[in-house]
Amino acid sequence: MTTTNAIRIANDSPFCESRRSVKKLEDDLISDEAMHAPLHEIEQMMRTAGRELMREMMQAHFDRRSAQEREVEVQDVDGIERLRVREGRRTVMTEFGEVHLDRKLYQAEGADALAPLDAAMELPDEKYSLEVRRIVAEEAARASFDEVVELVSKRSGAEVPKRQAEELAVRAARDFDNYYRSRLREPENSEQLLVLSFDAKGIATLHRDLREATRKKAESTPRRLETRLTKGEKPNRKRMAEVATVYSIDEWPRTIADVLHGARDAQDKAKRPRPFNKRVWASIEHEAERVIQDAFDEALRRDPDLRRRWVVLVDGNRDQLERIKRAARATGVKVTIVLDIVHVLEYLWRAAYAFHADGTKDAQTWVECRLIALLGGRSGGALAKDLRAKIRSHDLDENSAKSVEAAATYLTNNTRHMHYDRALARGLPIATGVIEGACRYLVQDRMGRTGAVWSAAGAEAVLRLRALRASGDFDDYWQFHVAKEHERTHQSRYADGEVPNPLPLKRPHLRLVK
């Protein structure tokens, strides 16, 4: 081949622009200025030039795809043949920057155009590529949307405004429920405990997205001051998110001393079993009953033959207990309900201050004595009876007696779920640390930032994305989401879900046989 022909062919290549950029970058790196520049300046230069180089190469790749596109027979989902063909251009914001794609559009009267090349490249309907959407989804799970815009710009060559970032996050989370419903689980050891736990956490929400009862309450209670809430005044602008967790854990029989003193050294800590195959999630969109039933469905996928012991940890909320019992009946499973010992302690500590000064050893001893009694098998009802007797024997005034009566009522209402002696002997958990941690991480750390007010759709999306990351499922979910996006965006528009391939067929690789 002559030199002239080689140059002509090179200049006809869509990659000639990027090749010139590579040569320029090489020249810049060996220049006198670069040889005397500090490393951080070289890194900055390469980052900027490298992104532009990658964008040029991506544009060249798009141009090559456009040049190879051939006309095909196109039949839409309604069986209409698309006979009119025209050229059309679209813009795609990739991880490396903005590029353009020229492709054939197949039209019919009164119908949207179909672009088989878009389908072959699995391009979304909107401007942003799936990789850009993934970056937004990952960052939105941990940072504010203002920060997401900044982080995307720094991490890639893409530019995504705040409003579009919020919309992309909502779309990224849309397959959350379907992913978990269709997910296959490996069988787990039937001797391991299957634990479920629930809680609720409020999220400051736009007035229009408050639940009806909360919205009416907010409208019926005008603010006393315009600039701040007065003492005892409630903002009435929060919508409750129901938080759930399902996990497995080994049985761990222990004594009262183990509970009182905890893990005293590294050896004790090593013995303590840890939750595994843990899934946590929260929803502001679904009612609490739906979330609880979803948790039972998740547990059933892990134990379809109902061979394991199911333990449900609760905080004593009566509505929550009723929902749990209904879900258990609907699932056909027998559950062991255990009241969180930490909530019991909170009531006991408040009651202790009716008899002893705040922060004293006497108060601590008072609480420990009653905790030991409960762990040893004394019923909540019996302890409540003693507390009420102490109100009379100590002649407490009405204000001091409130905390003691509240503790007695709490113990009486939940006494059937306080058989801690049996729970310890059987190796069951008695504290809700996992769900408390989920409330803090999933909801409070991200949704409870000062001044943040959420739309229901935005809050639900972020909760789902955070749940996927916390459960270690984000990468697997994203593959599922990409497949579902292809079905919705492309396959659903063609006859029999078959998208015609507008690119030349791959040539088979010939193998030399000796």
CATH number at residue 196: 3.30.420
Flag whether 512 is in a domain: no
Query: Mean pLDDT score of the chain, rounded to an integer?
Result: 89
Mean pLDDT of all residues in 62-72 = 94
Domain extent at residue 138:
70-172+476-502
Summarised one tens digit per residue, pLDDT across range 204-263 is 888 887 876 666 666 566 655 544 545 544 555 789 999 999 999 999 999 999 888 765
Last residue of a domain, one of 45, 68, 91: 68
The answer to whether residues 295 and 411 belong to one domain is no
The answer to whether residues 258 and 326 belong to one domain is yes
Sheet bearing 310-314, strands edge to edge: 276-283, 238-249, 193-204, 310-314, 335-339
Lowest mean pLDDT among 43-47, 106-110, 206-210: 206-210
The answer to whether residues 332 and 447 belong to one domain is yes
Flag whether 507 is in a domain: no
The answer to whether residues 373 and 480 belong to one domain is no
Q: What is the pLDDT of residue 303?
A: 93
Flag whether 178 is in a domain: no
Summarised one tens digit per residue, pLDDT across range 415-467 is 999 999 999 999 999 999 899 999 999 999 988 887 788 999 999 999 999 99
Flag whether 36 is in a domain: yes
Flag whether 63 is in a domain: yes
Q: What is the pLDDT of residue 201?
A: 92
Q: What is the pLDDT of residue 264?
A: 59
Mean pLDDT of all residues in 357-372 = 93
Judged against a pLDDT cut of 80, whether residue 5 lies above it is answered with no
Summarised one tens digit per residue, pLDDT across range 308-320 is 999 999 999 999 9
Flag whether 511 is in a domain: no
The answer to whether residues 348 and 411 belong to one domain is yes
The answer to whether residues 150 and 100 belong to one domain is yes
The answer to whether residues 145 and 92 belong to one domain is yes
Lowest mean pLDDT among 7-21, 203-217, 372-386, 459-473: 7-21
The answer to whether residues 99 and 157 belong to one domain is yes
| pTM for the predicted model, two decimal places | 0.85
Q: How far is CA 39 from the centre of its chain?
A: 39
The answer to whether residues 106 and 239 belong to one domain is no
Q: How confident is the model at residue 271 (pLDDT cuts 50, 70, 90)?
A: confident
Flag whether 463 is in a domain: yes
Judged against a pLDDT cut of 50, whether residue 114 lies above it is answered with yes
Residue 87 is inside which H or E element, if any?
strand 84-94
The answer to whether residues 369 and 458 belong to one domain is no
Residue 196 and residue 319: Cα distance in Å, rounded? 16
Residue 360 and residue 364: Cα distance in Å, rounded? 7
The total domain count for the chain is: 4
The answer to whether residues 384 and 408 belong to one domain is yes
CA angle 393, 397, 398 (to 5 degrees): 120
The answer to whether residues 321 and 454 belong to one domain is yes
Phi, psi of 241 (to 5 degrees): -100, 125
Mean pLDDT of all residues in 26-32 = 91
Flag whether 510 is in a domain: no
In the chain, % of residues over pLDDT 90: 72
